[in-house]
Structure 1
Amino acid sequence: MIEERSFEFSLSIIKLVKELRKLKEYVFADQLLKSATSIGANVAEAGAGQSKKDFIAKMAIASKEARETRYWLRLINKSDLFSLDTSDHLNEINQIIKILTKIVKTSQESI
């Protein structure tokens, strides 16, 4: 579930990044693209973790990347530099953060 959800989120961010690049906002675009796509990459790596601790570490990194992504989305939303609506992206990243936090906490409790 989280692997597919983070993948779909990355796809939606790619579309947003294309819009940012059209506006020549390369710094925002690059930072957002890196952090957002890293979420799914770390979730995918966690699925192939060599141990429970490795799984937790990768999921924790995914959670950190999700929080960074939320930061960039909030900055884009509140800066009034763009007429881009990031509210759907913000809603989704908040849900992803909740899921990842729950996965990490539950996994840590089980070891």
Structure 2
Amino acid sequence: MESESNIGKKFDLEDRTFDFANNCKGFLKQIEKNIHNVEYYKQLIRSSGSVAANFIEANESFSRNDFSHRVKICRKEAKESRLWLRLIDINEQLAASRDVLIQEATELMRIFGAILEKTKNTN
């Protein structure tokens, strides 16, 4: 059985990944819809949402291997989200918002990497 502090942390990360996907969506509503951005827009929506969805799946996994696999997908999708954020054409007014999202994607990648290391070390 999980301790109360672990339960809170698990759900905090679920909320954080949800917020990341939602914040990406809000950011995208503000960008210019040119030919390049339309494709990046679609990719960012998919990858940022996938971070959140796969973390929920990880928390509902049936085995340690399934958990690790889902967390690896989370890390990969966060890294992909960072790429799409960097590729989107924006004006100077949106640079700070994009930088915050890139920083969050980077932090999520590191968190998922640390979870994978901890999981690997407990095997």
Alpha-carbon contact 2:58-2:70 (below 8 Å) kept: yes
Alpha-carbon contact 2:40-2:87 (below 8 Å) kept: no
Q: State the AA in 2 paired with 1:50.
A: F
Matched, 1:73 2:85: yes
Where structure 2 has 5 or more consecutive residues not aligned to the other structure, the ranges are 1-11
Q: Which of 25, 34, 40 is 1:28 aligned to? A: 40
Q: CA deviation at 1:109?
A: 1.4
Question: Match of 2:71?
Answer: 59
Structure whose alpha-carbon radius of gyration is higher: 2
Deviations 1:39-78 (A, max 9, x none): 01000000000101100000000100011011111222xx
Q: CA deviation at 1:19?
A: 2.2
Alpha-carbon contact 1:56-1:104 (below 8 Å) kept: yes
Alpha-carbon contact 2:58-2:71 (below 8 Å) kept: yes
The 2-side partners of 1:46 and 1:106 are apart by 15
TM-score, normalised via structure 2 length:
0.80
Alignment root-mean-square deviation, CA? 1.2
How many residues get paired?
106
Question: Match of 1:99?
Answer: 111
SS state at 1:19 partner? coil
Alpha-carbon contact 2:74-2:112 (below 8 Å) kept: yes
Identity over the aligned pairs, expressed in percent? 29
TM-score, normalised via structure 1 length:
0.88
